[in-house]
Amino acid sequence: MQTLFTKSRKRDIVLALFLTVFIICLAVIITVFFKQLYYFDIDYLKIAESTGLSREVIQKNYDVLIQYQSIFYQGSLNLPDFVMSNTGRIHFEEVKRVFEMIQITFVVTGIISAVMIYLNVKQKEYRFLPLTSFFSVAIPSVLGFFVALDFDKAFVIFHNIVFRNDYWIFDYTTDPVITILPESFFMHCFMMIIVIVIMISVLCYVLYKKKRNQILAG
């Protein structure tokens, strides 16, 4: 019981922060590459009806776009059924760099967290779990609150922070791919990220309670 409550909290906080970043990156990666969400939205948001394109064409081009976001994909983006302007192509290249950074951060924080968790578990130190649960809920909850107030405004602010130009403002006449990427789909992505993070944070807290009860019982 002493090891659970008397160790320095500094290492627990550092580990919890690394784990929180890892969890958020994991949630983003799962959401981005979970193509079934978009497949659902093709029907739910009536993307085929609004664009006049077949489901097969929409799905094929989306698959290419998502494959392009992978850190393992090297090459240019070539959508089979859409032309792209130079600024549109630059924006997708910038998006790819952002996702690649998220994927790298996921790996780095995962390795660091694994090492620190191993050391903590050896010492029967589990306080990092409720701290991780708190951080991983607090951060997306604050973001979620502001997004819920005005998603459109939050969407614009996000792009202004992440990108240093206005290339993300697509003209459907020069970059018709934007017609198959409605803003509502991105809202659904954000919601999925929040749900995944909350689920993992709850799991961390449940695991902590279980470990604490085992230590107290022992």
What is the per-residue pLDDT across 107-133, written as a single tens digit (0 to 9) for each? 999 999 999 999 998 988 898 999 999
Cβ atoms of 132 and 201 closer than 8 Å:
yes
In a domain, 1, yes or no: no
Q: Is the pLDDT of residue 206 over 60?
A: yes
Read off the pLDDT of each residue in 54-79 and give the average, rounded to a whole number. Answer: 96
In a domain, 3, yes or no: no
Closest among 161, 174, 165 to 88, alpha carbons compared = 174
Average pLDDT of the chain, as a whole number: 91
Tokens of residue 206, six digits: 């449940």
Q: Is the pLDDT of residue 5 over 50?
A: no
User: What range defines the domain where residue 128 resides?
Assistant: 10-217
In a domain, 106, yes or no: yes
Q: For the stretch 92-129, what's the b/e string if a residue is b when 16 or more beta carbons lie within 10 angstroms of its beta carbon?
A: bebbbeebeebbebbeebbebbeebbeebeeeebbbbb
In a domain, 2, yes or no: no
Confidence of residue 169 (pLDDT cuts 50, 70, 90): very high
Q: What is the pLDDT of residues 83-103, one digit of tens each?
A: 999 999 999 999 999 999 999
| pLDDT score of 6 | 44
The domain tally of the chain equals: 1
| pLDDT score of 218 | 61
In a domain, 100, yes or no: yes
In a domain, 163, yes or no: yes
In a domain, 156, yes or no: yes
In a domain, 5, yes or no: no
Helices (H), the chain: 2-5, 9-33, 35-44, 47-51, 55-69, 86-122, 128-149, 151-162, 183-217
